[in-house]
Amino acid sequence: MHHTKYLIIGSSHAGLSALDAIRLQDKDGSLTLVTQESCLPYSPTILPYVLSGQARPEKVFLRDQQSLDSLSIAFKPGTKIVAVEGRSRQVVLQSGEKMEYEKLLLATGAAPNRPPVQGLEAVPHHVLRTLEDALTLRSKIRKNATAVVLGAGLIGLHAAENLARGGMRVIVVEALSQVLPGYFDEEASQMIHRAFSDNGVKILLNKKVSRVKGAEGRPL
């Protein structure tokens, strides 16, 4: 069984910041960095640019293997933790293996918030949370096809911008009365709304999607 003094689950900004802070205080304690993704650490903020093709996937990583090795980090990509056993200070991997730790940090970030829309799980749809999500969504861009984006937050508008740049007709549906609610006041939001509209993105405010229908028009 693998034993480590420090176990960090999640390899984005929070996990890497913790890693650096630990190494300032303890240069020799065993430290394991675990992520369920199969790649090196990267910033989720770069994903819209991967989607648009402005950033190449191999150029978005925050650390390379050599830098992790120089800090004596045991980096374990493609490793999913499915349970934490606090009393025994162990985590359970999806493979069934266990890993012992002395100190544990959960730095996994947020999960996509899928709205409670009838039929959504039965039809193909995408989220934009991981590098794999961005690459998959990029592969689906088709000129003159229509994309519907649910939500006019930062991720939604980033996705809408880059889907439109790829030649798609884009419709954004937002339940609240302005784009980027919680980020900007009404005047600034209206300016952003106009900029998107001027570039062919249709934004529907005060609208909720209640049901998704299949390609044949039947409710799913």
Task: List, for residues 107-153, the tens digit of each pLDDT value.
Answer: 998 888 888 889 888 888 999 989 999 999 999 999 999 999 999 99
Please state the domain count of the chain: 2
CA-CA distance, 189 to 187, in Å (whole number)? 5
For position 124, what pLDDT does the model report? 86
> Do 21 and 86 have their domain in common?
yes
Residue 136 in any domain: the answer is: no
Is the confidence at residue 219, as pLDDT, over 80?
no
Rg (CA), the chain: 21
Residue 165 in any domain: the answer is: yes
| CATH number for position 185 | 3.50.50.60
Band of the pLDDT at 216, cuts 50, 70, 90?
A: low
Residue 91 in any domain: the answer is: yes
> Do 19 and 84 have their domain in common?
yes
Task: List, for residues 68-101, the tens digit of each pLDDT value.
Answer: 999 999 999 999 999 999 999 999 999 999 999 9
Task: List, for residues 45-67, the tens digit of each pLDDT value.
Answer: 888 889 888 888 888 999 999 99
Give the structural domain span for 61. Answer: 2-106
DSSP-assigned states of every residue in 195-212: HHHHTT-EEE-S----B-
> Do 18 and 90 have their domain in common?
yes
Residue 220 in any domain: the answer is: no
> Do 101 and 146 have their domain in common?
no
Band of the pLDDT at 7, cuts 50, 70, 90?
A: very high
